[in-house]
Amino acid sequence: MKITGVAVNVLRVPVDKPYSAGGRTVDANWHVLARVTTSDGVEGIGYVVYPRPDLMTAIGQASRELGEHLVGMSVLEPEAAWERLARIGDWVGPGGLLHVALAPLDIAVWDAHGKTLGQPLYRLLGGYRDRVPAYGSDGLWVSLSPTELAANAKQHVADGFTAVKLRIGKESTAEAEARRVLAVREAVGPQVKIMVDAVESWSLAYARRAGRVLQDAGIAWLEDPVHHHDVAGLASLRRRLDVPIAAGEHLYHLDGFRTLLEARAVDVVILDLARVGGVTPWRRIAGLAHAHGIPVCGHVVPEVQVHLLAAVASGYMVEYVPRSAGILTSMPRCERGELVAPSSPGLGLELDADAVRRHQVA
């Protein structure tokens, strides 16, 4: 049960249809993939994925160097493993590149942990349920016309999702964004939840006005309306608006989430698995949110997030963006609006070996 080897690779996985996000053209999803092997012949996998190449090779090299320190440790002690690597890298952390480099290693250790014990990860972490309500988010970009947006949202509903999330931005007016929401509403019907994500693009003054307009259009939550450092602004929006405020995916450390929660600035906490540093710290943050009576959601990587959200009572919804489908043999299935956690040991995921070799960056 000792870790005997760690391999880390960087992958560039082209997308089927390039799109625009944050002013950039996205033509590929970049992965840092870690594979941990044990003395019992078990292999655990873990990865982070971002739709941009910036610093991904640097993150890969950092994971590679950190991973050397896992050799000889017990795969049944992931908390000890995470703390050891965090201490080694604390001179450039916590947070930032260190956490993103830690995450694929931590996820891989947890995957091997579950495989060694013969249990799916969601059950090892608490086993509250085996499925989580999900929302379709892929392909609902700010660059699309209302007609295109409505068509893509309708396809998500046809695929079994009962909620969708649209990106909105600062290049339009609040009224124009409301028209986009209403176009989607007409396409998907009255029972489907429609959330919106402003991707931190608004000033507080504009967020107050746009929030009211979108609230009247019937949105189910308003995500990241202002910059994540403006905790006071988020808190004031939460007091002014009836629509729930969601935020947190840009935070890296427990202290940041504590500040957010103590300020009563959000109705829903969103956790980015890479930024927080993997499964181990994710659990700590989810526990903190639970203590404040706030539900948690996962940001992308649904095939891993579904395990974490299914494990805890405060798990709310999982965001379905299948950025890693191109390197896996299959993704978790959606049934009646819920993503089902794989029942196989560990993450229950299998790499497509040919795709991994084909997309590997030298």
* 223 within 8 A of 241, measured Cβ to Cβ: no
Q: Could you say which residues of the chain have pLDDT below 50?
A: none
pLDDT 10s digits, 167-178: 987 767 899 999
Domains and their CATH numbers in the chain: 3-118 (3.30.390.10), 123-340 (3.20.20.120)
Amino acid 124: pLDDT: 97
Q: How many CB atoms lie within 10 A of CB 159?
A: 10
**Cα–Cα distance, 229 to 152 (Å, whole number):** 32
Cα 76 from Cα 61, distance rounded (Å)? 25
pLDDT at 22: 66
pLDDT in tens, 59-78: 999 999 999 999 999 999 99
What's the confidence (pLDDT) of residue 136?
95
Write out the DSSP string of 154-179: HHHHHTT-SEEEEE--TTS-HHHHHH
Tell me: the pLDDT tens digits for 178-228? 999 999 999 999 999 999 999 999 999 999 999 999 999 999 999 999 999
Give me the pLDDT at residue 54, please: 93
